[in-house]
Amino acid sequence: MSDDLPAGVERHTFEGTDRLATRGDPVYGEPTDGDWRAWNPTRSKLGAMLELEMETGLEGGDEETVLYLGAASGTTVSHVADFAGPTYAVEFAARPARDLLETAASRPRLFPLLADARKPATYAHVVESNVDAIVQDVATRGQARVALENRRFLDDDGRLLLAVKARSEDVTRDPEDVFADVRAELEAEYEILEARRLEQYHADHLGIVARPQPR
């Protein structure tokens, strides 16, 4: 397994298995090893991308800023806030947002935002410009459009880390056709650096790493 992981993400042995881990309070019943907690790739698209050795461009550290779209109750974004700097977590549904608030209580770098990722103007006054990474896991139609609309926050040298859920776009179509359409739409604003199926951990999902096109 590659050692090219963000600072603050390490491999530890949990219950006899070598797994990714971050240092922080447990959130979703994951195994722990002292201050370290396992990062479950079957519950995290970004965790799956790291396990599959995709080149995410994440470096970790207090200076790295992240905008996370589709934070839900905090399963993945809690790991991000464990190793990165200011992490803005956008979630639209009120019930998981309440859990997200609890997750953020012990993470001063995690900033929950009850907002719709399809309407970035509603949180533009909070999120700083030029974030280092956008992590997107939004189960909705128009996933490429969400990434395009939130491009405004991303540094010119930043990275988009997008998990495309084919069944959320159109449950009747072949996932490969859905993925092709999403990629084509993204290319209006992004250069796709890597795309890989996450099938080992998540059915009908595509992981994409992209950087903004020069303006």
| Tens digit of each residue's pLDDT (9 = 90 or more) over 20-60 | 999 999 999 999 999 999 999 999 999 999 999 999 999 99
Gap between the Cα atoms of 188 and 27, Å rounded: 37
At 136-153, the pLDDT tens digits run: 999 999 999 999 999 999
At 189-204, the pLDDT tens digits run: 999 999 999 999 999 9
Residues flagged as binding site: 75-76, 91-92, 116-117, 137-140
**pLDDT > 80? residue 166:** yes
Domain 40-212 has CATH 3.40.50.150: yes
Of 89, 186, 198, residue with least CA distance to 143: 186
**pLDDT > 50? residue 132:** yes
pLDDT of residue 3: 59
At 3-22, the pLDDT tens digits run: 589 999 999 999 999 999 99
Residues flagged as binding site for S-adenosyl-L-methionine: 75-76, 91-92, 116-117, 137-140
**pLDDT > 50? residue 213:** yes
**What share of the chain in percent tops pLDDT 70?**
99
pLDDT of residue 151: 97
pLDDT band at 215 (very low <50, low <70, confident <90, very high): confident
Average pLDDT, the chain: 96
Domain boundaries, the chain: 40-212
pLDDT of residue 2: 45
Overall pTM surpassing 0.95 (yes/no):
yes
Region 87-92: mean pLDDT is: 98
